[in-house]
Structure 1
Amino acid sequence: MIEEQQTEITDAAVVDYLRLHPDFFHRHLDLLEQMHIPHPSGNAISLISKQLEIFRAKHQEQESQLNALIDIARENDASFNRMHELTLAMLEANSLEDAVANLSEVLSECFLTDFVGIKIVRDGGCSPISNLFVAADEPNLKHFANELATNQPKCGRPTLVQATFLFGDAATEVKSCAIIPMVFTQLEGILAIGSRDEGRFHYSMGSVFLTQMSEIIGTRLISLLQQLD
């Protein structure tokens, strides 16, 4: 088998090619953005060279802005699809037990969470789900007083007391979580989603989607709770 020999292109060959094809850069203007051509005047910069330099900088900036917008659009699409799956999962639930099971599944698969905790503030509740209902005078609720008072989600690392109340025996595994209050006329409760990853739910995260999540879940829970009355 004869090995192919690679031919090295010399400077002279490039020069000869460009002389034979003077319109080469007209057909490949994008190359000019990547090339640095010295000016005959040395350190002096011609007006055309300066304009080209400015054009390159603006082009790179616009390209970066476009890529950032594309990333945001992709993330928004992904968030919309996740919320859609969550809505379907809640609508398919015919009981509180179904709702909790569906919620755990969709949050794990679509939102990549490890733990889910739900607490409904309601006296005399009866459910096969362990510790789903808590009394209004439950002492541990004081650790969530700010979230319930402001009805605003909070992300970050929970205290051990908070994690134990929300996630039970898995408390020590939770490195970050989102505590999402559900405060409505017909429902008061807490939804918590936790992760083993410290950076999964960071304190600087936005709250728009978390608030929408609480509205979707809370609305369905209200409907299912009415079946118990």
Structure 2
Amino acid sequence: MSKKAEELERMEGKIASYLAKNPEFFERHPELLENLKIDHKIYGSVSLVERQILNLRNRSHDLQERLTDMLDNAQVNSDLLMKCSQLAVGVIRAESRQQVADTVLEELRRHFDIDDCQLWLCDNDEDLQRVNYSDSDTLYKLTDQQFIHKDPVCGRITESISQLFKSDKKLQSYALIPLGDGAEDGLIALGSSNVELFTADMGTLFLRFIGDICEACLAKK
């Protein structure tokens, strides 16, 4: 860097420091604002005031978009909560394990926009209809999951995980809801032909709620 460039940089630093400490400077010298010009990628050379107005408009637009997204998400979450509540009420009212299983499968298929729903249990003390049975080791191999802390997992369908389903449709995404610690009691497998319905980074709070309700009701009936 040349000596002149270094001197210019020091001077600019002093100016910037002074303006930062004296924000009222331009209030005392409003004529400077009218003469200052700043390059803008879209509108070319604009005054500082015009640049501030454009920035405020952009910020307003961004905030409006964020608010719209928040409202949309709130509506989606409200709908999901209502559906989960209906499922919970139905499962709690069930008088047998068979009714619990039937209610879970019917409610999930009817209200959650999925193409396939399978209930897998590791306890085969009784032969429930519409229920699949397997040992936990086999489920671990098929899913390649350990289900830490009962957290559901979601993602793209793999050849291995596709064996959990019976749908004739080409499933693209899945959600696996463990029942019991480490899915020791089984799991609920949800499959969708929509690749974006279940993603690895999605929130699983409502799925966890469904799993906890089903696990508790299956254990008590």
Q: TM-score, with normalisation over the residues of structure 1?
A: 0.65
RMSD: 3.2
* Unmatched 5+ stretches in structure 2: 1-33, 38-43
In structure 1, C-alpha distance between the alignment counterparts of 2:147 and 2:46, rounded to whole Å: 64
On the 8 A contact 1:174/1:196 being kept in 2, the answer is: yes
1:138-171 superposed Cα distances (whole Å, 9 cap, x missing partner): 645433452345533221233334332x224x37
Which SS does the other structure have where 2:180 is aligned?
A: strand
Which residue is 2:151 aligned to?
Answer: 152
Which residue is 2:194 aligned to?
Answer: 197
On the 8 A contact 1:125/1:133 being kept in 2, the answer is: no
Q: TM-score, with normalisation over the residues of structure 2?
A: 0.67
In structure 1, C-alpha distance between the alignment counterparts of 2:139 and 2:60, rounded to whole Å: 56
Report matched runs for 1:166-177 at 5 Å: 166-168=164-166, 170=167, 173-177=170-174
Which residue is 1:76 aligned to?
Answer: 77
The code of the aligned residue for 2:93 comes to: E
| Change in 2 beyond 3 A, CA 1:49/1:202 | closer
| Change in 2 beyond 3 A, CA 1:161/1:72 | closer
Which residue is 1:133 aligned to?
Answer: 133
Which residue is 1:64 aligned to?
Answer: 65
In structure 2, C-alpha distance between the alignment counterparts of 1:56 and 1:134, rounded to whole Å: 59
Post-superposition shift, 1:218? Answer: 0.9
The code of the aligned residue for 2:150 comes to: N
Which SS does the other structure have where 2:129 is aligned?
A: coil
Which SS does the other structure have where 1:202 is aligned?
A: coil
Does 2:210 correspond to 1:209?
no
1:36-78 superposed Cα distances (whole Å, 9 cap, x missing partner): xxx9xx9764554344323322322221222122122112212
In structure 2, C-alpha distance between the alignment counterparts of 1:200 and 1:45, rounded to whole Å: 45
| Change in 2 beyond 3 A, CA 1:131/1:220 | closer
In structure 2, C-alpha distance between the alignment counterparts of 1:61 and 1:141, rounded to whole Å: 44
Q: Identity percentage over the alignment? A: 21
Which residue is 2:89 aligned to?
Answer: 88
In structure 1, C-alpha distance between the alignment counterparts of 2:46 and 2:160, rounded to whole Å: 67
In structure 2, C-alpha distance between the alignment counterparts of 1:141 and 1:160, rounded to whole Å: 14
In structure 1, C-alpha distance between the alignment counterparts of 2:95 and 2:69, rounded to whole Å: 42
On the 8 A contact 1:160/1:172 being kept in 2, the answer is: no
| Change in 2 beyond 3 A, CA 1:94/1:204 | same
In structure 2, C-alpha distance between the alignment counterparts of 1:135 and 1:174, rounded to whole Å: 24
| Change in 2 beyond 3 A, CA 1:58/1:128 | closer
The count of aligned residue pairs is 181
In structure 2, C-alpha distance between the alignment counterparts of 1:197 and 1:53, rounded to whole Å: 40
Post-superposition shift, 1:90? Answer: 1.0
Does 2:178 correspond to 1:181?
yes
Which SS does the other structure have where 1:206 is aligned?
A: coil
Which residue is 2:12 aligned to?
Answer: none
Post-superposition shift, 1:176? Answer: 1.9
